[in-house]
């Protein structure tokens, strides 16, 4: 059962919006209490926008106290500081230290504005105009809002006064001067933290998030999956016709949305409208019984009423027989259980196709009976069914493809694979290798021309990434099996390399198709685009369903810069044990040299390495409620590099072998802190935080390469046996895993967000495209009138000579596409509209741009009719 509090946390995390009940009106007590709340939030890096502040001041003192505590708790939970930090003012709002709160808020805002001038305006949430703090309330206003709404006037004594647009208080001043707080203007830099503006939630926010998640075309990560379940719990299934979209691309999302409708006669027909494969039906039955749509674990299936059975059998009978039988063969155990509920042989006369599929699945013996006659008659209509003895057997499409490839018949294999575009792209490198041709074989080229327009984004991007590395042999192949936690295993790659001309031509066809789709899709066109070349370090997300829920959604295999020499990396681990069970988690690092030879470690058995190059905070062996336990491990990266260390591999282990998913709360991550800083959890310095979950006892989040000062995001779990775990015992297993992962990640064998950004900009931008990260200025590109958009994308992606150089893009009043690593962009002129992707937050977050995810970028590659 979901709660309103859960929904409030979701809207805060996804939209930075806050639900506030209606109130009777403001009072002096609530005005003072809101100042205290502002100070609490500013200390956590958040601001109240004007509409939200007005809604809070309209509450009664009691309602404000409840809303304030809930909001602070949600912000703490978002940043991972809810377990260890008490509020700034413990007795809010019964005892309001008003002046203390005022001073605290003022000092925090002044410090932030001095370090980072691009802060959001609390009135319009924009960042285009200069933002300054009013004195003495310290509320942030941009010059546009102040100029537009400042309230100058004269009183009887001819004193000049003004009103703050945020708190609506009037102040007097000695003369007609703008009342700005002194924040050391001109001395600040651009490296400080950007405060996050919280806005008042609109009634349609939850519905908009539900629609966005149901429209997602790429797999949901664990956090998005949980959010979808929560939002569906708040949706009324009896009114599903109002909120269900026309189509739900993701099969698992479709099952979550449709399962509650199966038992409601008034909306049951929607199940048949959306479910178009047998596996869809199976997922719906599993979710209806309390299971997960990933079908990795089967619950006990709930019984079905006769009307529901009849409708499901009719639905299954409408699918093509071969696809129906093959879908059942992919999940035989689950379908045999489902058959016990559906009773397909009872209605064999009406639904012979379904009965035949179950007979093949079960290996039913044919007897001299009415059922046997129905099955034989139906089997005669399908070439894929053979009678072997007294049982019916299926000759699958997959087996025919394997047979053709086995005899190296590329023409026959290409013809079969063209029937299923996704399978053709998944096997493209094998098909090209079997052809043995020095140029793209004609049968494969014809199959690609037929299949490419119908291929889903996943296989399209997967094939493109593989073709980039198949010309260079010798790398390890790492596989990530499907599951609820990410495991990996590696094998040597003994495949012969593909000729460069073959792989290059196939890659060009895929790239041209991607650009064609993006240009043909109905949607926003852009006047200007700004792309960050650092996106080449971020692969397109894969295996997201098993990735850890994290503060920053970093795709696995990404390469990210580590903190500067002036900072230390502080790893942290926090956990809370269940009642009655002692849980001992341990934070550790293993150290290796250039050749992946073991050099040393730092963990609970060795609290210090190389006289402080790595230092552990000490071993905690239990984590009782309510606060749990936290361990820290500080790394001085330059010092470690000077001792001969090349690779640093952090690891989190369960010493007494309790799986992470049995803990009520467990997370880890790292901060960037100044050398000598006390061992405290400061949410403002957190660079990454991720949950520890799943049936696992050893997780490796990343691999740090000290030579390049970059971290490769791994997010994998390793198998363990026994108990009393430490990294010394697992050092060889970690070494093999780290070496294999880097051997896979470094050649960039996957399509990247840079590829997606370049294709999108070339296809949808009618003006200039600017690239950051190729020097101190932006490289500008403009498409020639007769230049194919695929060629334009190639120029941008490969870094050809720019058409122009620019210090800052002029986005004022233009529709812009921004694809950035950090949301830091100083732009001139009026506010721009358009679309923003960024990995890390920044000033651009407050601009009136639609925020999208990496999955959304990939989803734009969906086939276009």
Q: What is the pLDDT of residue 4?
A: 59
Nearest-angstrom CA–CA distance, 609 and 277: 57
Q: What is the dihedral of CA 514, 519, 525, 529, to 10 degrees?
A: 40
* pLDDT tens digits along 485-519: 778 878 887 888 889 999 999 999 999 999 999 99
Q: Where are the alpha helices (DSSP H) in 80-200?
A: 98-115, 143-149
What's the confidence (pLDDT) of residue 299? 93
Do strands 710-717 and 698-705 pair parallel, antiparallel, or not at all (unpaired)? antiparallel
Number of H helices, E strands in the chain: 29, 31
Residue 840: strand pairing partners: 822
62-76, 351-365, 390-404, 640-654: segment of lowest average pLDDT: 62-76
So where are the chain's domains?
A: 4-200, 526-535+751-859, 544-736
pLDDT (average), residues 838-862: 84
Report the alpha-carbon distance of residue 514 to residue 508 in Å, rounded. 10
What architecture does CATH give domain 544-736? Sandwich (2.60)
Where does residue 204 rank: exposed (0-12), middle (13-18), buried (19+ CB within 10 A)? exposed
More confident of the two residues 809 and 197: 809
Question: What pLDDT is stored for residue 69 in this prediction?
Answer: 86
State the DSSP string of 3-67.
-HHHHHHHHHHHH-EE-----S---HHHHHHHHHHHHHHHHTTEEE-HHHHHHHHTS-HHHHHHH
pTM of the complete model: 0.76
- Confidence bin at 45 (pLDDT 50/70/90): confident
Q: What is the DSSP letter of 529?
A: E
Q: What is the mean pLDDT of residues 826-838?
A: 70
Question: What is Dmax (Cα atoms) for the chain?
Answer: 110
**Which residue bears the tokens 């870094």?**
799
**What is the distance between the alpha carbons of residues 782 and 806, in angstroms, rounded to a whole number?**
13
Residue range 285-326, pLDDT digits in tens:
999 999 999 898 899 999 999 999 999 999 999 999 999 999
Position 176 confidence tier, pLDDT thresholds 50, 70, 90: very low
How far apart are alpha carbons 701 and 694 in whole angstroms? 14
- SS3 state at 470: coil
Q: Which two tokens stand for residue 331?
A: 């999940």
Radius of gyration of the chain (CA): 30
Q: End-to-end alpha-carbon separation of the chain, Å?
A: 41
pLDDT in tens, 136-166: 777 877 777 766 655 444 444 444 556 677 7
Give the helix/strand (H/E) hosting 833: strand 833-840
Query: What per-residue confidence (pLDDT) applies to 153?
Result: 46
* 650-683 core/surface letters (b: 16 or more CB in 10 A; e: else): bbbbbbbbbbbeebebbbbbbbbbeeeeeeebbb
pLDDT exceeds cutoff 80 at 211: yes
Task: Give helix 410-417 / helix 428-435 axis angle, nearest 10°.
Answer: 160
Task: Indicate whether 645 pLDDT > 90.
Answer: yes
DSSP conformation class of 836: E
Using 50, 70 and 90 to split pLDDT, how confident is the model at 98? Answer: low
Name the strand (E) or helix (H) holding 520.
Answer: helix 500-520
- Which of 531, 535, 508, 547 has its CA nearest to residue 716? 547
Average pLDDT over residues 334-356: 93
Beta 698-705 vs 686-691: how paired, if at all? unpaired
pLDDT at 94 > cutoff 60: no
Average pLDDT, the chain: 84
Report pLDDT for 600: 95
* pLDDT-based confidence at residue 537 (cuts at 50, 70, 90): very high
pLDDT of residue 85: 31
| Residues 610-620 pLDDT 10s | 988 999 988 88
């Amino acid at each position: 059962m979901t709660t309103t509090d859960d929904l409030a946390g979701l809207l805060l995390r996804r939209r930075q919006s806050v639900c506030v009940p209606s109130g009777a009106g403001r009072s002096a007590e609530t005005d003072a209490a809101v100042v205290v709340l502002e100070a609490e939030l500013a200390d956590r890096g958040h601001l109240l926008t004007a509409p939200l502040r007005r809604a809070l001041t309209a509450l009664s003192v009691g309602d404000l106290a409840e809303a304030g505590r809930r909001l602070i708790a949600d912000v703490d939970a978002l940043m991972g500081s809810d377990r260890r930090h008490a509020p700034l003012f413990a007795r809010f709002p019964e005892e309001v230290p008003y002046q203390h709160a005022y001073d605290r808020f003022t000092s925090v805002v002044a410090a932030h504005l001095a370090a980072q001038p691009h802060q959001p305006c609390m009135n319009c949430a924009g960042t285009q105009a200069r933002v300054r703090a009013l004195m003495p309330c310290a509320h942030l206003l941009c010059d546009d809002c102040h100029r537009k709404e400042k309230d100058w006037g004269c009183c009887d004594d001819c004193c000049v006064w003004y009103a703050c647009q945020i708190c609506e208080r009037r102040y007097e001043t000695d003369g007609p001067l703008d009342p700005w707080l002194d924040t050391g203007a001109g001395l600040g830099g651009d490296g400080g933290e950007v405060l996050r503006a919280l806005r008042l939630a609109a009634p349609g926010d939850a519905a908009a998030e539900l629609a966005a998640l149901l429209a997602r075309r790429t797999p949901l990560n664990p956090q998005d999956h949980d959010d979808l379940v929560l939002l569906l719990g708040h949706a009324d299934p009896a009114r599903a016709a109002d909120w269900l979209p026309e189509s739900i691309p993701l099969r698992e999302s479709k099952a979550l949305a449709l399962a509650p409708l199966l038992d409601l006669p008034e909306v049951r027909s929607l199940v048949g409208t959306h479910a178009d494969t047998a596996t869809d039906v199976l997922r719906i039955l599993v979710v209806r019984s309390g299971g997960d749509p990933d079908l990795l674990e089967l619950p006990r299936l709930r019984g079905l009423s006769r009307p529901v059975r009849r409708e499901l059998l009719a639905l299954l009978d409408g699918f093509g027989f071969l696809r129906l039988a093959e879908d059942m063969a992919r999940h035989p155990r689950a379908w045999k259980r489902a058959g016990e509920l559906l009773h397909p042989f009872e209605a064999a006369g009406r639904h012979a196709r379904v009965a035949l599929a179950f007979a093949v699945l079960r290996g039913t013996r044919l007897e001299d009976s009415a059922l046997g006659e129905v099955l034989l008659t139906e089997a005669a209509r399908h070439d894929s069914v053979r009678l072997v003895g007294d049982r019916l057997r299926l000759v699958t499409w997959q087996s025919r493809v394997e047979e053709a490839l086995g005899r190296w018949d590329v023409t026959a294999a290409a013809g079969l694979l063209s029937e299923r575009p996704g399978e053709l792209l998944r096997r493209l490198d094998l098909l090209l290798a079997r052809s043995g041709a020095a140029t793209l074989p004609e049968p494969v080229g014809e199959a690609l021309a037929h299949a490419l327009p119908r291929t889903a984004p996943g296989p399209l991007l997967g094939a493109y990434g593989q073709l980039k590395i198949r010309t260079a042999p010798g790398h390890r192949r790492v596989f990530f099996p499907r599951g609820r936690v990410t495991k990996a295993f590696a094998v040597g790659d003994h495949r012969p390399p593909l000729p460069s001309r073959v792989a290059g031509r196939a890659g060009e066809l895929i790239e041209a198709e991607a650009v064609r789709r993006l240009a043909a899709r109905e949607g926003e066109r852009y006047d200007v685009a700004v792309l960050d070349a650092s996106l080449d370090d971020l692969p397109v997300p894969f295996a997201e369903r098993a990735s850890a829920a994290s503060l920053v959604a970093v795709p696995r295999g990404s390469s990210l810069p580590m903190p500067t020499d002036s900072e230390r990396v502080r790893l942290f681990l926090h956990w809370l044990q269940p009642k009655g069970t002692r849980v001992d988690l341990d934070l550790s690092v293993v150290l290796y040299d250039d050749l992946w030879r073991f050099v040393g470690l730092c963990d609970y058995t060795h609290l210090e390495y190389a006289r402080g190059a790595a230092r552990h905070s000490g071993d905690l062996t239990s984590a009782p409620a309510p606060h749990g336990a936290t361990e820290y491990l500080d790394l001085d990266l330059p010092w470690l590099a000077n001792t001969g260390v090349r690779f640093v591999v952090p690891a989190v282990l369960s010493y007494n072998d309790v799986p992470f998913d049995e803990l009520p709360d467990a997370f880890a991550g790292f901060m960037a802190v100044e050398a000598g800083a006390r061992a405290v959890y400061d949410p403002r310095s957190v660079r990454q935080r991720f949950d520890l979950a799943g049936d696992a006892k050893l997780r490796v989040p990343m691999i740090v390469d000290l030579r390049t000062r970059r971290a490769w995001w791994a997010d994998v779990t390793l198998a363990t046996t026994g108990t009393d775990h430490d990294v010394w015992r697992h050092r060889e297993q970690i070494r093999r895993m780290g070496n294999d992962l880097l051997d896979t990640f470094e050649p960039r064998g996957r399509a990247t967000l840079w590829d997606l950004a370049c294709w999108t900009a070339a296809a949808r931008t009618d003006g200039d495209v600017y690239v950051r990260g190729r020097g101190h200025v932006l490289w500008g590109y403009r498409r020639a009138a007769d230049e194919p958009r695929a060629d334009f994308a190639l120029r941008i992606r490969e870094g050809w000579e720019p058409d122009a150089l620019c210090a800052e893009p002029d986005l004022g009043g233009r529709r812009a596409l921004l694809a950035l690593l950090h949301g830091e962009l100083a732009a001139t002129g009026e506010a721009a509209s358009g679309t923003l992707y960024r990995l890390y937050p920044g000033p651009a977050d407050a601009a009136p741009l639609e925020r999208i995810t990496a999955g959304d970028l990939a989803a734009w590659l969906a086939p276009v009719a």
